[in-house]
Structure 1
């Protein structure tokens, strides 16, 4: 995770007084786009003729009963999670051997689970020379027109000592996705066979970190490349209604800086408030059922932080109108961008709770048969 910008608190359900611990700079932009905003109303009218495109706007969660929540919570395998995490807990700066090994770990794991895996490789200039980046894209059912996106970055920050691990930033989110695909493999496979128009896609993004000083050109390399590339590719090919690959994204869920015990999320985007509030509700229900690790505070705060201005991999997609649900703690972990961001900083009880909540969200969004 790179840089937090200025924080402006806007709460509907409660007021929040928070003082950022990081340098504040001007807010990059105000988000006013709607999905597929380019082209105006005429383009929107054309796109609305596509059944799969219209379905995104009417989509609602299935709702999970207490029995279904117990079923999802029972899909726990923290031993597998640790197995997935261990190979990622290494320095993985773009262009290094560690980076290559981690990418191959992601590719091999998703291939072994039967997902369709693509490697989006490209070159880009950086302050330290020209580098090759590779986004890893894993799709459950590539034939489905709509995607629920779960995303995180897998590169780590360049430091002088070459020892920065980035356990929270973002080794843990990567391992969470690998673990989710494994423990939910049976219900996900069943969903894929049902030929739904909606599927699950993981994006392991490369080049999130700046090589020197965070800027519009030295950061978010993989996300910037991918968002522009998808927007430029028509879907379906040669269609006359103006839809492109980016329009296939129902919701872009970005995970970052996860793994410490003190994690607290806020609702950062009004457009995706209904989905954030479902997570608020599910956490409270799971906690009442004593299915989450005990803690004093809720992980999902019932408060809004619109205009938080956090710079992360969602930005290039958000600018193009993709709905975003950003799962990043506020404030950032105390180990952020420090060499103490290692396995010793992690709290596995909290990670276990996060895993359960993410499985619950996926089951609800995809209408999985449990």
Structure 2
């Protein structure tokens, strides 16, 4: 018995890795894009986030309400939790500022706390105090919209999978897998980035989860232990991003996402690609051009990760042993922390492509091949691709 308990974490890890099933070409071709929901003025997902949303302000609360309304209206099966904390900041004149993280969780029906390993998809939703009027479209309004799209896309497939598996005899180690969307508050510094003035919401949540214990003898002792992978999106939405692989222990997961990107490129599904049918149709020279991959370390071996550390919301979680996949470009976009990091300077095609890559990654992780029904959405996306010639809003 003691030997079995000692080997359990390793067996869970091996089960997770061996169970990973890629999506078919057919499924990749029919994954829906966000379409008009990412319109910067009227889009149901993105437009409400493209506003100033400094922590503790009405704008911040309005965006958080947008997230709550989205889940309550469209994804009622997801469990919603608000994690509240307060802290003084260098600009608050001694006043406690409120930081509110939103946690949306979808676990298998009938599962119990401490028995579910979760994929965490993460972005921050606050915006920087300065310059005045700063929107932060890449930082991180667009990543938040991408996560909403991913959650909506996989939701029905999750239900269908779990209903099918409920009728079968299933290995518990492989089936107790859930997904979380973490929308974190207070990532930005109020004055100058340092260990105290930054990551307010992330630090509070990681600390709280470290001391929130599941029942004795649970497979996962705390909510932190239950995170199988923490995928953090940041600074996404500018044209031609260069995203390295930062950590050795998650380079394998990076390569899985990179494989998805390459397959989508090969299938002509990425709108930012110079070889997408809509772009090819407008060129006189139809010869295929070189594909500029987002995930640039795709072809490196298991020891070929770039390395380096960019301080971001993953830091408090990584310090507590959580495995991190950081999807952030290096170098940063030109608009980083500039007033023109707004909706007009997003590259629409790149934003939609990231949404599709992240959605496919989540679908593969959750073993959803064979549980999607997308035909009508796919036809809509093909029509939009054929009629759209714009690459920027």
Q: TM-score range by the shorter chain?
A: 0.7 to 0.9
Indicate the SS of the match to 2:86: strand
Match of 1:87 in 2: 48
TM-score by length of 1: 0.81
Q: CA deviation at 1:111?
A: 2.0
Indicate the SS of the match to 1:300: coil
Sort the Cα spacing of 1:190 and 1:353 in 2 relative to 1 into closer, same or farther, 3 A: same
Indicate the SS of the match to 2:127: coil
Answer yes or no: is the 8 Å Cα contact 1:260–1:347 preserved in 2. Answer: yes
TM-score by length of 2: 0.77
Match of 1:136 in 2: 102
Answer yes or no: is the 8 Å Cα contact 1:76–1:183 preserved in 2. Answer: no
Where structure 1 has 5 or more consecutive residues not aligned to the other structure, the ranges are 1-42
Sort the Cα spacing of 1:277 and 1:224 in 2 relative to 1 into closer, same or farther, 3 A: same
Match of 2:69 in 1: 108
Match of 1:18 in 2: none
Match of 1:33 in 2: none
Sort the Cα spacing of 1:233 and 1:44 in 2 relative to 1 into closer, same or farther, 3 A: farther
Sort the Cα spacing of 1:240 and 1:249 in 2 relative to 1 into closer, same or farther, 3 A: closer
Q: Cα deviation per residue 1:127-152 (whole Å; 9 max; x = unaligned)?
A: 12311111000001273611000000
Answer yes or no: is the 8 Å Cα contact 1:208–1:219 preserved in 2. Answer: yes
Match of 1:298 in 2: 293
Q: How many angstroms apart in 2 are the aligned matches of 1:365 and 1:240?
A: 23
Q: Cα deviation per residue 1:295-332 (whole Å; 9 max; x = unaligned)?
A: 44111112555442200001111111111100101110
1:55 pairs with 2:34: no
- How many residue pairs get matched? 322
Q: CA deviation at 1:80?
A: 2.2
Answer yes or no: is the 8 Å Cα contact 1:77–1:183 preserved in 2. Answer: no
Answer yes or no: is the 8 Å Cα contact 2:81–2:103 preserved in 1. Answer: yes
Answer yes or no: is the 8 Å Cα contact 1:92–1:98 preserved in 2. Answer: yes
Sort the Cα spacing of 1:305 and 1:158 in 2 relative to 1 into closer, same or farther, 3 A: farther
Match of 2:27 in 1: 68
Match of 1:252 in 2: 230
Q: Cα deviation per residue 1:322-343 (whole Å; 9 max; x = unaligned)?
A: 1110010111000000100001
Sort the Cα spacing of 1:48 and 1:360 in 2 relative to 1 into closer, same or farther, 3 A: same
RMSD over aligned CA atoms reads: 2.2
Mark the structure with the bigger radius of gyration.
2
Q: CA deviation at 1:45?
A: 8.3
Indicate the SS of the match to 2:225: helix
Answer yes or no: is the 8 Å Cα contact 1:153–1:205 preserved in 2. Answer: yes
Q: How many angstroms apart in 2 are the aligned matches of 1:362 and 1:241?
A: 23
Q: CA deviation at 1:362?
A: 1.0
Q: How many angstroms apart in 1 are the aligned matches of 2:25 and 2:334?
A: 35
1:148 pairs with 2:119: yes
Indicate the SS of the match to 2:61: helix
Q: How many angstroms apart in 1 are the aligned matches of 2:253 and 2:196?
A: 31
Sort the Cα spacing of 1:160 and 1:338 in 2 relative to 1 into closer, same or farther, 3 A: closer
Sort the Cα spacing of 1:55 and 1:277 in 2 relative to 1 into closer, same or farther, 3 A: same
Match of 2:357 in 1: 357
Sort the Cα spacing of 1:166 and 1:47 in 2 relative to 1 into closer, same or farther, 3 A: farther
1:168 pairs with 2:166: no
The aligned runs of 1:1-370 (5 Å cut-off) are: 48-49=7-8, 54-60=11-17, 61-72=20-31, 75-81=32-38, 82-112=43-73, 113-114=75-76, 115-129=78-92, 130-141=96-107, 143=111, 145-159=116-130, 161=132, 163-193=133-163, 194=165, 196-235=175-214, 237-239=215-217, 243-293=221-271, 294-295=273-274, 296-302=291-297, 306-368=306-368, 369-370=371-372
Q: How many angstroms apart in 1 are the aligned matches of 2:351 and 2:3?
A: 41
Sort the Cα spacing of 1:176 and 1:47 in 2 relative to 1 into closer, same or farther, 3 A: farther
Q: CA deviation at 1:188?
A: 2.7
Indicate the SS of the match to 1:265: coil
